[in-house]
Amino acid sequence: MKPCPACPWVRNSEPGALGGSPAETYVGQAILPFWLPCHSSANYAGKASDVNQVQECAGAAIFRANIGVKSPDALLSMPADREIAFSTPAEFYAHHRRIKLADAERILNADKIEELALRQLYETNVRMQLKRRK
């Protein structure tokens, strides 16, 4: 399995081509064990994507391996490949925000990355609560 040509996690991706979500969302989700869909997969429907009908993002799995995030068995795991995918959150962020790597590294310090991850957990919790009320 390889990342699709439009995968935002690969180095040759189009800068800023993030499928409608900001780079901060991607960083927050990638460091946690979120199931991340392939945006080019058949039946992709954004946040409403069905995990049984949409392929997982191979690029995100490679990125996670590159940064040392161990995915649980239920999620796709791929070997690290720093030539294909970004090696750090700052590289990803700099590429998609079109800023210098040093600036991205200053912005994405450990506290900021933790904040982005917590925001993703909060937003996921809110969506789940709203679904339960329907």
The domain ranges of the chain are 23-133
Residue-averaged pLDDT of the chain? 88
Check pLDDT > 90 for residue 98. Answer: yes
* Burial status of residue 69 (CB atoms within 10 A of its CB: 0-12, 13-18, 19 or more): middle
Distance CA 49, CA 107 (A): 31
How many CB atoms sit inside 10 A of residue 12's CB?
Answer: 9
pLDDT of 41: 77
pTM value is: 0.86
Average pLDDT for residues 50-72, to the nearest whole number? 88
At 61 the pLDDT is 96
Q: What is the CA radius of gyration of the chain?
A: 14
Q: Is the pLDDT of residue 22 over 70?
A: yes
